[in-house]
Structure 1
Amino acid sequence: MSQNLTLLYLTDLYYPAKGRNYYEEDLYITSQLKEHFNILIGNPQQALGFLDKADSIVFRNTGPVAYYQEYFNEFVNKVKQNEIPTFNSFDGKADMKGKQYLLDLFEQDFPVIPTINSFDKLHLLPNSDQYIIKLKNGADSIGMEKVSKEELNNTKLEDKLIQPFIDFEYEVSFYFINDEFQYALYAPDKSKRWELKAYKVSEEDLEFAQKFIRWNNMKRGIQRVDACKLKDGSLLLVELEDLNPFLSLESLNEESRDKFLQNFIKALKAIPSKL
């Protein structure tokens, strides 16, 4: 038992996430963690007043930080100044910093959905009748829209990304604690992306996901690699969620869920109380 260690567990229990119940997942997780740590549950927009109470901070289902960006920036700065370790650590290069990484990875020939941010690069995308427009600093599908090729010409691209609309077979997500693979889930019906089932991972699938985990090189935390499976069987990255990925634990069987929690607790216990 590590009851002398206090975790400040940040979550927004009231955030209305489509297809997901943040509060159910976090109440379950904290019910398991309390056997090993002192747990303080706090809202991410009220975290600053509790920093002196925590040995470590767990940043979980907090909703898009775009809604409270200024407060979040102050929180991150204070955490670093006070050398309070966080899980996830705030050194990721993916969704934690917006969508710039999709542009970078596409330019580096990683297997990602082709992504550009200017009309003069349109020739780099495969020909498509429809396109997806995303906010460069968006999250949780905020500001995302689907447009025709004709509508694309009238779109203002300031702080936005363009991707071709991909006719994929299904979406699949790979979940990692630190750099260790935990489980994978997929949505057999792509119109119901949060109705998930266990996914049997092939060696090729795992190498695909690990490629992005290695690239991100994050010190510690939970990461979710979201991909789409194409008709030819290949995978393309949709996003790399490295800040506060929802875990869909309710979609796991008891054995897989227990194994994940054991590994999560082990990872938290391995964090030094001061960096």
Structure 2
Amino acid sequence: MSALLLVSDLTYPARGRRYGDEDAYLASRLRAHFDVALCHPSDAVALMDRFDVVLVRNSGPVLHYPAEYEAFRAHALANGTVVFNPLHGRGDMAGKQYLVDLSAAGYPVIPTVDRVEDLDRLPDVDGYVVKPKAGADSVGLLRTDRAGIPAGGEILIQPEVDFEYEVSFYFVDHEFHYALYAPDPGKRWELRAYEPTGDDLAFAERFVRWNTLDHGIQRVDACRTAAGLLLVELEDLNPYLSLDLVDESTRDAFVAAVAASLRDLSGH
């Protein structure tokens, strides 16, 4: 049986999410398919060469341990380590520049620029949201008017968007599995089951196709505006899955798909 190293920070205090519970559950289910060990992100480089595949899960925002994450990436790439998700993702895994690029290319994303000089590309609004390009979990988020937008720095600038709700679509490889939404815009992690329309799935699948990951877990986060869905984030590094909120058959199918993708990627 192949050996799998599951990288997770089981004690990370995620707001509204229970990282440890989800990864303990996932490890328990994957033991039917692999010999499984868990480790903290800071220990991954020292341990990863002993395993056939490394599964990066709820390891917390990498902005909290950038040197360790860069060492992990460098070691994996130099040694040909099989990492799930593979390290060539174009979404959050590569930083948030993709939001600027997709916005400029006309994709249905929240309009985004990264320079004050480009504010004329955004809708004329009273309020803006400014985020660090390396941000996560709302760390460093600033709500301000035009005059308060800082000049320079690695930032994203977006207009404040009036939306009805946020919705997330969960994929393994390119296969859709389930969707969850937050009916209250002020309570991002109070999620309920969501039945996507054909148009909803076409929206989400467009971004999954745009990404270059044949294997891996992706979460497409969007918000529902009067004009339709707009992309908020394409999470392809370590998206939380909210597996405790889906029914048993959905969980079973999701875990089976992850196990099959891991086997296929690792060649075992």
Scaled by the length of structure 1, the TM-score of the pair is 0.94
Residue matched to 1:248 = 242
SS in 1 for 2:265: coil
State the TM-score, normalizing by the size of structure 2. Answer: 0.97
What amino acid maps onto 2:151 in structure 1? Answer: K
Counterpart of 1:29 in structure 2 is 26
CA distance in 2, matches of 1:200, 1:219: 25
Alignment of 1:229-268 (within 5 A): 229-232=224-227, 234-268=228-262
Name the stretch that deviates more: 156-165 or 103-112.
156-165
Shift of 1:82: 1.7
Q: What fraction of aligned residue pairs are identical, expressed as a percent?
A: 46
Q: Amino acid of the residue matched to residue 260 of structure 2? A: K
* Superposition pairs of residues 89-104 of structure 1, within 5 angstroms: 89-104=86-101
**Count of residues paired in the alignment:** 268
- The within-5 A match list for 1:175-190 is 175-190=170-185
Report the secondary structure of 1:226's partner residue.
strand
Mind listing any 5+ residue stretches in structure 2 that lack a counterpart? none
Deviation at 1:201, TM superposition (A): 0.8
In the TM superposition, structure 1's runs of 4+ consecutive aligned residues that sit over 4 Å from their partners are none
Tell me by how many angstroms 1:35 deviates: 1.6
| 1:168 and 2:163 are equivalent in the alignment | yes
Tell me how far apart the structure 2 counterparts of residues 219 and 144 of structure 1 sit (CA, whole Å).
Answer: 32
Report Cα offsets for 1:214-236 as digits up to 9, x if no partner: 1112132101000000124x100
Q: Distance in 1 between matches of 2:7 and 2:266?
A: 19
CA distance in 1, matches of 2:17, 2:102: 29
Q: Secondary structure at the match of 2:205?
A: helix
Secondary structure, aligned partner of 2:266: coil
- The 8 Å contact of residues 56 and 84 in structure 2, kept in 1 or not, is answered as yes
RMSD: 1.2
Task: Please tell me the residue identity of whatever aligns with 1:216.
Answer: N
Cα distance in structure 2, aligned partners of 1:237 and 1:8: 32
Per-residue CA distance 1:169-196 (angstroms, 9 max, x = gap): 0000011111111111100111111011
Deviation at 1:270, TM superposition (A): 1.5
- 1:273 CA displacement: 4.8
2:198 is aligned to: 203
